[in-house]
A and B are shown apart, each in its own frame.
Chain A
Amino acid sequence: MAIVECTDVVKTYQQGKVDVRALRGVTLSIDTGGFVALAGPSGSGKTTLLNLIGGLDEPDSGHITVDGNPFDEMSQSRLAELRLNKIGFIFQAYNLIPVLSAVENVEYVMLLQGVGAGERRERARAILDEVGLSDMYNRRPAELSGGQQQRVAVARAIVSNPALVLADEPTANLDSKTGNGLLEMMAEMNRTKKVTFIFSTHDQRVMDYARRLIRIQDGRVAEDVDKAA
């Protein structure tokens, strides 16, 4: 079953007087449970595509459906609700709310979902244990290393069992050892929790972790390789 469906998605930005055609008609379908890499050079349109799939922005034309919800019919607040319950985000950096501790950052999503305080705290701690941060519950983001911050971001993205996690170059700011560790952890979460991961990268080593590799070039899908097949 497909969790993400994109049909003829076009997105053009206005840069002054120039039109920048970030996506020129992307059609793809991603199955539930996938561990998918969007690969391509800088400027190819990866971030734009992830933002559209996450409902953070609207395409100029084309259709996007996530977990059976067609975006064209949804209001901003319905999209916010969908993001809250179905989608987790991991960005390249500055993912965390600086005034909240690691455990509070993870709790925040559940707070929005209306989970009770006791359960919230328990689940946040459990997931932080899983990502290997058991002794960092109360540290603020500024007191964590880049790799630790990204682990908190992963924990936060998956804590409420979303259908889909979108990660935009999650390892770009990390050294390769830390980056590999993070990817292994994401792959582990994908296996054990059956959460679909879509991550973008331009790093060959990162692409190797993916089970499916979608190459984006100049706003189009240039190659789509399902390694499992």
Chain B
Amino acid sequence: MSIHFKMAWRNIWRNRRRSLLTMLAIAFACALLVFMLSFQFGSYEAMLNSAIKIHTGYFQIQAEGYQDKNDIRSVVPNPEKVARILDNIPQVSAYTFRASAFSLASSEERTYGVAVSGIDPNKEAAVSSIKRLIREGEYLSEGDSDEALVGALLAKNLRVGIGDAITLLGQGRDGSVAATVVTVKGIFSSGLDDFDRNAVHIPLKYFQEVFFMRGAVHTVVGLTPSLWDLPKVVDAAEARLAGLNTDRPLAVLDWKELMPGLAQAIMIDLISALIFYMLLILVVAFSILNTFLMAIFERTREFGVLMAMGTTKERLTRLLMTESMIMTVLGIAGGILLGGLVTLYFQKHGISMGDSSELFRQFGISGRIYPRFTPLSAAIGPSLVLVITFLVALYPAFKVRKLRPVEALSYV
């Protein structure tokens, strides 16, 4: 160990309590940041996954305007052509077709407005988690026709069970009345209350007959291996879809456009958290500044002696920076360790949210949230702390340069 480093190290322990408190403040701030960011990332991922996997997909191809008006006449007229395009984009991992219509659903006792979707049972299972969400009865199979999957809340409201009949009454693509009776084959529960209260799934082919779709669908729902692949897929699909001559141009929407509420909720949550983090770091920064300034104040005479011996101001600055960076790095390391351990514990066991969080429930998370410890969530907070403490430490370290040797020496 060099004398320079020894001096810095020992100077830190001269005022053991003050240095420890400072390092603890740094560590605590870092631990908190690591945990909270991991928690946020974990909950965003959970929200995204549940919403995306349950229904929305990473992207959808729709006729322009369909997203806003849900007009049954805004169709993708030739799904096979879209399918061929998607087959040729390597980053598309799965896709499926859906057709949807607003209808009235009646049981013997009650009537509700519902969203009826026609799904391709096999393709749908690869894209959404609907198959896994069946709580009672069974999922649809290829040969099914007048059979339906209904959300648990809807089934409860309609007071229907497996094998019961539901009458669907709506309007077909051509404006005529579309009506049919379907049998409840399965009941699903996704945790997304809206979805569980409104959704009725029937086989796509059957939907197309009942609603006079003439082979058309409303949405092509797709997945990519990860969110990072999404922009490329959107660009590629958009470029190639332009070559299809449809009445209405087809649009590619990503999850942010499909679920603007979720994207916004995440953004707002991130920003408000960021403000809190900044305040936290600011408090820590001031405590560090205080420590460093006190240390300099107490050691003024010593700096005078050092200068009298021929120590340059650069060297004094370096000594002080070494001291503050040792403390910062130790604090940060401790903080990452502590924050990491706490995060990993909760990553395993989850954190019970009860029914408290409206936001989480709205996006399909209930019960427990699992923070996710990632390199990013571990690094962002501590890096911010490192940068801020470095900048804060510069002030006293450069302030010492203003000291004149004689003044410092006469300081007792």
Contact = CB atoms under 8 A, between A and B. Distances in A.
Interface string A45-88: 00000010010110000000000000000001100111111010
A197 interface: no
B399 interface: no
B174 interface: no
Given A99-B11, A111-B3, A54 B305 contact: no
Contacts of B20: none
Contacts of A169: none
A57 B310 contact: no
B10 A112 contact: no
B7 interface: yes
B406 A51 contact: yes
A57 B405 contact: yes
Contact of A83 (B6, B14, B308): B308
B16 interface: no
A43 to B, nearest CB: 14
A84 B309 contact: yes
Nearest to A88: B309
Given A80-B310, A91-B409, A112-B309, A107 B3 contact: yes
Contact of A56 (B11, B302, B308): B308
Contact of B6 (A56, A85, A104, A112): A104
Given A100-B6, A100-B7, A89 B309 contact: yes
Contacts of B409: 51, 56, 91
B4 interface: yes
Given A57-B405, A100-B7, A112-B315, A84 B310 contact: yes
Nearest to A162: B310
B307 A80 contact: yes
A75 B320 CA distance: 23
Nearest to A110: B3
Interface in B392-412: 404-406, 409, 412
20 contacts: A51-B405, A51-B406, A56-B406, A56-B409, A76-B313, A83-B309, A83-B310, A84-B310, A84-B311, A91-B409, A96-B305, A98-B302, A104-B3, A107-B3, A108-B309, A109-B309, A112-B309, A112-B311, A112-B315, A156-B309
Contacts of A57: 404-406
Nearest to A111: B3
Contacts of A97: 7, 302, 305-306
